[in-house]
């Protein structure tokens, strides 16, 4: 056990830190309030800058334009990004989930065709997984693809598609063998979103924004060479994408959470409560300390999981602990913010009295989604029960 950074890790950190000092844009906070299109164009340029510096996909193998970074180096990368409050990258799903899946399952032609443009943000990717009747039970999805003259004809509907409105390509899971058991009849297709018959509609969520989309496919033609992996082996391809989702996400969160709790402590020092400041109120102190402690434990759990994966070579179901931990903690942090801010907590960005431009009312609503997206807390507990503890399948 040695939690000091190794010489290589320090070198990696210092190199990226000095690169960021020169290159990170300082005006992101102004742009994030502009229209979705304008701020996205900004993020595209930022990703290109990262790509030109060789920092867009540090986890990818060197031959595909990455740096072959270890998990610890990836954690350092995201910590440094969070430390300078760097903007996110435009092609988040392409870089984080879909690119690695193409590298793992794609043909040489597919890798050559898609990988460079994922890195450069010239082609933005979205993910067509969930359907109105296939959420937690993803394998029951119904979007169908029939093979006709070397093309798949796709019909169906997807929901909760992030980046659908700006997506150039979609990693789409479809049913190619309706007669097979539900996990065995699925195939992953790489679909050009400009194909005739693809319709993208905004899906307005409870925060009022439309982060996500609904996708409709009506007789969409997809060339046979755009199958990713093997036909009817789509479940394994999709599961590998989901593992990247659970594994990589927690790494970048702890500094973001730490910044939230730091800001809450600052606010608590100014908010009056029972004749003193909220920071002096015993109950608020207890709750702030509890959140602070859990944020630190979230970091430690992540580091332990990374060490275990590095030792064993495979990402395991430990990701499920992290998913439950951060999503439920984030909800508690937001509830605490409401308790500290009192009546001001409910104010939206549009109100001139809003604290921090309304981020706390937004966060309160948005975090309800945390325990649902990327696998509900219930599904994560099923995964721990079955795959970690060896209890019988419950469904």
Partner 1 sequence: MQFGLNESQEMLRDSLRSFFAGECPMSEVRRLMATDCAYDDSLWRKLTAQGYTGIIFPEEYNGVGLGKVELILLMEEAGRALLPGPFFSTVVLSGSVIDGVASAEQKKKYLAPICRGEARSTVAILEAAASWDLGQIQMAAVNRRLSGEKLFVPDAAVADWILVLARNGVFLVDKKSPGVTVSPMFSMDLTRKLYAVQFDNASAEKLGDLAGSKTAIDIATTALVAEMVGGMQRTLDMTVEYAKTRKQFGKTIGSFQAVQHQCADMYLETESSRSAAYYAAWALEENVPDASAAVSIAKIYASDAGRTVGNRGIQVHGGMGFTWENDLHLYYRRAKASEIAFGDAIFHRERLARLTIDTASVAGMSA
Q: Does 390 bind partner 1 (CB under 8 A)?
A: yes
Contact predicate 260/249, CB 8 Å: no
Of the candidate spans 137-145, 221-229, 245-253, 286-294, the one that interacts with partner 1 by CB under 8 A turns out to be 286-294
Q: What are the Cα distances from residue 197, in Å, to 9, 150, 155, 226?
A: 49, 18, 9, 17
CA distance 102 to 329: 33
Structure tokens at 179: 């007669």
CA distance 228 to 233: 9
Q: Does 382 bind partner 1 (CB under 8 A)?
A: yes
Q: Which of 42, 217, 325, 362 binds partner 1 (CB under 8 A)?
A: 325
Q: What are phi and psi of 365, to 5 degrees?
A: -75, -45
**Residues in contact with 204: Cβ distance below 8 Å, sequence separation at least 6, in sequence order:** 210
Which 128-187 residues touch partner 1, going by CB under 8 A? none
Q: Does 11 bind partner 1 (CB under 8 A)?
A: no
Q: What is the DSSP letter of 70?
A: -
Q: What is the DSSP letter of 6?
A: P
Of the candidate spans 161-169, 187-195, 222-230, 284-292, the one that interacts with partner 1 by CB under 8 A turns out to be 284-292
Q: Which of 311, 314, 350, 353 binds partner 1 (CB under 8 A)?
A: 311
**Residues in contact with 253: Cβ distance below 8 Å, sequence separation at least 6, in sequence order:** 298, 326
Q: Does 333 bind partner 1 (CB under 8 A)?
A: no
Crossing angle of the two packed helices 282-312 and 319-341, in degrees rounded to 10: 160
Q: Does 385 bind partner 1 (CB under 8 A)?
A: yes
Q: Does 395 bind partner 1 (CB under 8 A)?
A: yes
Q: How far is the CB of 214 from partner 1 (least distance, A)?
A: 30
Of the candidate spans 41-49, 58-66, 214-222, 255-263, the one that interacts with partner 1 by CB under 8 A turns out to be 255-263
By CB under 8 A, the count of residues binding partner 1 is 58
Contact predicate 287/213, CB 8 Å: no
Q: How far is the CB of 378 from partner 1 (least distance, A)?
A: 7
**Residues in contact with 305: Cβ distance below 8 Å, sequence separation at least 6, in sequence order:** 318, 319, 321, 322
Q: Does 30 bind partner 1 (CB under 8 A)?
A: no
CA distance 392 to 386: 6
Q: Which of 17, 32, 151, 308 binds partner 1 (CB under 8 A)?
A: 308
Which 60-99 residues touch partner 1, going by CB under 8 A? 72, 83
Q: Which of 17, 357, 368, 381 binds partner 1 (CB under 8 A)?
A: 381
Q: Does 23 bind partner 1 (CB under 8 A)?
A: no
Nearer to partner 1, 6 or 236 (CB): 6
Q: Does 9 bind partner 1 (CB under 8 A)?
A: yes
Nearer to partner 1, 213 or 380 (CB): 380
CB atoms within 10 A of CB 330: 23
Burial environment of residue 238 by CB neighbours within 10 A (0 to 12, 13 to 18, 19 or more): buried
Known catalytic residue: 245?
yes
Of the residues 131, 211, 245, 294, only one is catalytic, namely: 245
- The alpha carbon dihedral of 251, 256, 259, 260 has a sign of negative
Q: Does 332 bind partner 1 (CB under 8 A)?
A: no
Q: Does 126 bind partner 1 (CB under 8 A)?
A: no
CB atoms within 10 A of CB 216: 16
Which residues in this chain contact partner 1 in the complex, by CB under 8 A?
Answer: 1-6, 9, 72, 83, 255, 258-259, 261-262, 265-266, 268-269, 279, 282, 285-286, 288-290, 292-297, 300-301, 303-304, 306-308, 310-311, 321, 324-325, 378, 380-382, 384-386, 388-395
Positions marked catalytic: 245
């Amino acid at each position: 056990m040695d939690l000091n950074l190794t010489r290589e890790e320090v070198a990696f950190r210092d190199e990226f830190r000095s690169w960021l000092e020169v290159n990170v844009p300082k005006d992101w906070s102004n742009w994030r309030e502009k229209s979705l299109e304008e701020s996205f164009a900004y993020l595209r340029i930022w990703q290109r800058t990262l790509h030109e510096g060789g920092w867009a996909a540090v986890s990818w193998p060197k031959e595909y334009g990455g740096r072959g970074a270890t998990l610890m180096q990836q954690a350092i990368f995201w910590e440094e990004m969070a430390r300078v409050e760097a903007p996110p990258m435009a092609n988040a799903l392409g870089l984080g989930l879909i690119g690695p899946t193409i590298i793992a399952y794609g043909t040489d032609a597919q890798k050559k065709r898609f990988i460079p443009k994922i890195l450069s943000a010239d082609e933005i990717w979205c993910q067509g997984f969930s359907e109105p009747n296939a959420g937690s039970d993803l394998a029951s999805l119904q979007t169908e693809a029939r093979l006709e003259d070397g093309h798949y004809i796709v019909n169906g509907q997807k929901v909760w598609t992030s980046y659908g409105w700006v997506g150039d390509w979609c990693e789409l899971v479809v049913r190619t063998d309706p007669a097979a058991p539900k996990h065995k009849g699925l195939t992953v297709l790489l679909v050009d979103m400009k194909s005739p018959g693809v319709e993208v509609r905004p899906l307005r969520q409870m925060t009022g924004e439309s982060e996500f989309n609904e996708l409709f496919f009506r007789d969409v033609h997809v060339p046979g060479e755009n199958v990713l992996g093997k036909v009817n082996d789509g479940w394994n391809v999709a599961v590998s994408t989901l593992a990247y989702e659970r594994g990589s996400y927690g790494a970048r969160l702890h500094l973001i959470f730490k910044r939230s709790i730091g800001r809450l402590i600052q606010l608590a020092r100014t908010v009056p409560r029972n004749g003193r400041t909220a920071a002096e109120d015993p109950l608020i102190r207890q709750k702030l300390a509890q959140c602070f402690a859990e944020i630190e434990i979230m970091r430690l759990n992540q580091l332990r999981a990374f060490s275990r994966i590095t030792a064993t070579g495979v990402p395991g179901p430990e990701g499920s602990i992290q998913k439950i931990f951060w999503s439920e903690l984030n909800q508690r942090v937001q509830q605490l913010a409401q308790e500290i801010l009192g009546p001001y907590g409910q104010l939206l960005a549009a109100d001139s009295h809003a604290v921090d431009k309304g981020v706390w009312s937004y966060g309160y609503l948005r975090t309800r989604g945390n325990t649902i997206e990327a696998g509900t807390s219930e599904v994560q507990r099923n995964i721990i029960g079955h795959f970690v503890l060896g209890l019988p399948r419950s469904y």
